[in-house]
């Protein structure tokens, strides 16, 4: 990507290393079809850095970074400013990469709430230039490592998903393995041993420039409150390379479980092993914890790890029933997390029109149902629909404020005068009235359907019909 070069538009024919002409298209996780086709063109040699900085690879990486957007790193450079910056500075960056002298910038520390709602998760946001280089590294390294990953590993891999992991877990339980060893790695991304990880990377990467660059990324400082602190262990979540590095490290765990003949599902650092008895599960938990500590220098959180029935556990937001042929269902914790998000929107929308409030809920509700579309126990969707409609009726009652206004709106919706005035002056609270007969009659489900409210139950039916 030399200074002054113009980008090639998506779909433009390019010449591949085998001499054929192909369209340059992006792959789902940032690995282009071109990169996938050339995984044998750049074998495990000492020239991997040339593949990283190769123009076509960098163009795909640039488009991927631009598509992902994201916030700025410590230098404040936005994704929109990246392309003009590269036109001027790419020759210098490329030369530094090829000579092994490139030094990554520290990452910017950001804290976000954990999905469980307990505690905060620390992210490290690289600069956009470092995100570009990490993405380019990922695209070249991924075809080298991924083909040898376990079939039971589902996280951060193209063509694999959390849904596939859940279906496999259900099949394992249906086969008679009705005890689960739930292994929780304590602060996994914060505790990764750099030497152990680099030893695994070096098994297939011979280019010392690439190895040195990855190690420098691992050791890049973290800026928090204007102060940079050095990192001697862990890998920052937030960069494109971190998911691949986590899979490279935990592939040793997968291979050990396969060697022992265990049935398991792993999604990132969330690993469940399926066994036929509690005693067997307890033995497995002890031995695997020892393996992780000795071989990978990782610590198992004993207070959160357990040998338990699958219907008493949550895996990737789901649980399952106790039947011989178990059915997937939404875990109770996932329902509470959705309600917490919705309460935030409801608080923000107290002064909005109902149409605007319903519109603001649409993407959140559709995204939630899309993820939980495998659920076979559907009662919770109906319960949530009823709860959401009651919250909206509550907001309407709150907006009306005075008895006269409340009676007027109820009569406009068809309630006869005596009932409307009785409801408007009953002295009960908003939540009571939102669930009372008069609000149900005036604002039934069909009314909310007409204003565009997404019905979780109806949308689930639609998705399951099209699966």
Which residue do the tokens 């790419």 mark? 90
Strands 107-113 and 222-224: parallel
Give the torsion sign (CA, 128, 134, 140, 143): negative
Q: What number of CA atoms fall less than 13 Å from residue 288's CA on the CB side?
A: 33
For residue 193, CA distances in Å to 231, 257, 331 come to 11, 21, 33
pLDDT of amino acid 116: 59
Q: Enter the DSSP assignment of 121.
A: E
Whether the CB-CB separation of 184 and 305 falls below 8 Å is answered with yes
Please give the angle made by the CA atoms of 276, 166 and 323, to the nearest 5 degrees: 50
Query: What confidence tens digit (pLDDT) does each residue in 187-210 have?
Result: 888 889 999 999 999 999 999 999
- Across the range 70-79, mean pLDDT stands at 89
The pLDDT-based confidence of 232 (bands split at 50, 70, 90) is: confident
Whether the per-residue pLDDT at 182 is higher than 90: the answer is yes
Q: Is the pTM of this model over 0.95?
A: no
Q: How far apart are CA 421 and CA 406, in angstroms?
A: 8
Confidence of residue 235 (pLDDT cuts 50, 70, 90): confident
- pLDDT at residue 400 is higher than 80: yes
- pLDDT tens figures, 351-399: 999 999 999 999 999 999 999 999 999 999 999 999 999 999 999 999 9
Per-residue tokens: 217:
């990324």
Torsion, CA 44, CA 48, CA 50, CA 53, rounded to 10:
130
Cα 243 from Cα 240, distance rounded (Å): 7
Angle in degrees, CA 211, 204, 124, rounded to 5: 45
Reply yes or no on whether the pLDDT at 5 is more than 60.
Answer: no
Span 259-276, pLDDT tens digits: 999 999 999 999 999 999
Distance CA 360, CA 362 (A): 6
Helices marked H in 155-314? 162-174, 188-191, 194-201, 208-219, 242-259, 278-295
- If you average pLDDT over residues 215-244, what whole number do you get? 82
Using one digit for the tens of pLDDT, what is the confidence trace for 282-325? 999 999 999 999 999 999 998 899 999 999 999 999 999 999 99
- Measuring CA to CA, which residue among 323, 448, 334 is closest to residue 385? 448
* Alpha-carbon distances of 318 from 115, 245, 331, 386, 424, rounded to whole Å: 13, 26, 5, 21, 42
pLDDT exceeds cutoff 70 at 37: no
Query: H/E element holding 189?
Result: helix 188-191
Which one, of 333, 309, 330, 307, lies nearest residue 319 by Cα?
330
Mean pLDDT across 44-62:
88
DSSP 126: -
DSSP assignment, residue 148?
G
Average pLDDT over residues 123-136: 92
Cα–Cα distance, 72 to 194 (Å, whole number): 26
């Amino acid at each position: 990507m030399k200074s002054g070069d113009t980008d090639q538009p998506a779909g433009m024919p390019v010449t591949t290393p085998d001499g054929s002409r192909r369209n340059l298209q992006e792959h789902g996780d940032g690995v282009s079809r071109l990169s996938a086709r050339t995984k044998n063109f750049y074998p495990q040699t000492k020239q991997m850095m040339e593949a990283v900085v190769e123009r076509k690879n960098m163009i795909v990486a640039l488009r991927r970074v631009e598509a992902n957007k994201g916030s700025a790193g410590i230098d404040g450079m936005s994704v929109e400013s990246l392309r003009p910056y590269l036109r001027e500075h790419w020759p210098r960056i490329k030369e530094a990469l090829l000579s092994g002298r490139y030094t990554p910038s520290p990452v910017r520390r950001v804290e976000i709430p954990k999905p469980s709602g307990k505690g905060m998760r620390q992210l490290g946001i690289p600069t956009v230039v470092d995100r570009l280089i990490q993405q380019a590294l990922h695209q070249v390294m991924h075809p080298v490592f991924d083909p040898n990953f376990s079939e039971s590993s589902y996280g951060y891999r193209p063509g694999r998903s959390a849904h596939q992991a859940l279906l496999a877990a259900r099949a394992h339980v249906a086969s008679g393995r009705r005890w689960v060893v739930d292994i929780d790695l304590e602060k996994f991304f914060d505790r990764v041993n750099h030497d152990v990880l680099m030893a695994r990377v070096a098994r297939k990467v011979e280019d010392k420039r690439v190895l040195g660059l990855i190690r420098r990324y691992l050791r890049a400082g973290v800026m928090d409150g204007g102060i940079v602190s050095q990192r001697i262990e862990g890998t920052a979540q937030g960069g494109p390379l971190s998911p691949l590095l986590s899979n490279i490290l935990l592939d040793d765990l997968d291979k050990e479980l396969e060697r022992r003949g265990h049935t398991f599902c792993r999604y990132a650092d969330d690993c469940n092993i399926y066994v036929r008895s509690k005693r067997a599960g307890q033995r497995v938990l002890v031995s695997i914890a020892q393996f992780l500590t000795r071989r990978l220098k990782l610590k198992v959180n004993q207070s959160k790890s357990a040998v338990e029935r699958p219907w008493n556990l949550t895996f990737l937001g789901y649980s399952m029933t106790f039947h011989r042929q178990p059915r997937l269902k939404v875990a109770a914790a996932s329902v509470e997390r959705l309600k917490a998000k919705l309460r935030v929107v409801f608080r923000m929308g107290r002064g909005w029109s109902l149409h605007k409030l319903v519109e603001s809920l649409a993407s959140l509700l559709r995204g939630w149902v899309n993820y939980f579309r495998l659920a076979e126990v559907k009662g919770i969707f109906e319960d949530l629909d009823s709860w959401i409609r009651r919250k909206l009726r509550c907001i309407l009652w709150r907006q009306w404020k005075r008895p006269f206004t409340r009676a007027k709106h109820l009569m406009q919706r068809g309630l006869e005068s005596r009932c409307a005035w009785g409801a408007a002056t009953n002295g009960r609270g908003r939540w009571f009235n939102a669930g009372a007969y008069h609000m149900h009659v005036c604002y039934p489900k069909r009314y909310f359907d007409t204003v565009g409210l997404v019905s979780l139950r109806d949308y689930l039916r639609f998705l399951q019909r099209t699966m």
